[in-house]
Amino acid sequence: MLSMAVTLFAATAWSAQPIQIEGPLRIVLPFGPGSGTDIYARLVAEKLGPALGTTVIVENKPGANGIISAESVARATPDGNTLLFTTNTTHAANPNMFKRLSYDPVKDFAPISKLGNLTFLLVVAADSPYQRLGDLIAAAHAKPERVSFGASNSFGTVSGYKLGKITDSQFLYIPYKSSPQIITDLLGGQVQFAFVDVAAATPMLKSGRMRALAVLADQRFPTLPSVPTMKDLGYPQFDVVAWFGMFAPAGTPGPVVDALNNKLVAVLQDPALRQRGAELGIEIFGSSPQELADYVASQIDLWKALTADAGLTKQ
């Protein structure tokens, strides 16, 4: 494939020189096709390509709780060609869930911009006997570790364990690489409930094949007004935010990071993109590289408390 020179101008007062990045630009994701991260990344890539004047390729590298994708970008050439479109899983939760990581979420990456927050749901199959969250909890009390839940990321994993701890229930955790696989098994009866983002769940909710029992957010979701929040159900402890961020490998030149930030933040302000994001449970916004760096540091500390509160220890 022929490379294309992409000319950017660094968004800094001290540099008015054009910055060239050899395209195409590759965006690596920690989750598979059809996940909320995948859907959002492709929406961004669709607009970022024209803004950069080059091809933007989205590459899914699911597995190992995002470790595979994060490591691949951390080891990539720091020239601005390879970026990581990721979540709190790789950059806040994993340091608190694994004794050994093949990457350092702070030292091995150059932050570019925050990308927004994502809303999650607790869902069951439409033909499930569990009509309410209380039914799940009662079933788990009656048959410990017979009521299973699926999760493909740290948000779902921690939420499931936390729900078990605060309700004195023993749920069986089934790990997955990506949310579409969870939904398939949920509909097939292999797992009883799951934590899935709104973007991935929407098609099955609209078709009537899946039912949402709770929203894991401070407020009810606009298109699902009858679905209560966890706080509505008496569990205000679920105040975790699932977030997105874009990173380059550490060592990427500052002017390149600034230029990418400038283009990306402009794309994230697109009204059509924000409207589509809202429909999918994604609150879209950007930030400066430093704001993302500071946020990651604070989130690592927060997830240390969250994993401990959920009764999880490093594996």
pLDDT at 170: 93
- 75, 77, 228 from 80: Cα distances, Å: 13, 8, 43
pLDDT at 249: 98
Pairing outcome for strands 56-60 and 148-151:
unpaired
Residues in the chain predicted with pLDDT less than 70, given as ranges, are: 1-22, 239
pLDDT at 244: 96
The conformation of residue 222, written as its DSSP 8-state character, comes to T
**pTM for the predicted model, two decimal places:** 0.85
Which residues have a Cβ under 8 Å from the Cβ of 137 and sit 6 or more positions away? 167, 169
pLDDT at 66: 93
Q: How far apart are CA 45 and CA 25, in angstroms?
A: 9
pLDDT at 19: 57
In the sheet that holds 210-216, the strands lie side by side as: 172-175, 148-151, 193-197, 120-125, 210-216
pLDDT at 21: 63
pLDDT at 9: 44
pLDDT at 256: 94
pLDDT at 148: 96
As a whole number of Å, the end-to-end CA separation of the chain is 41
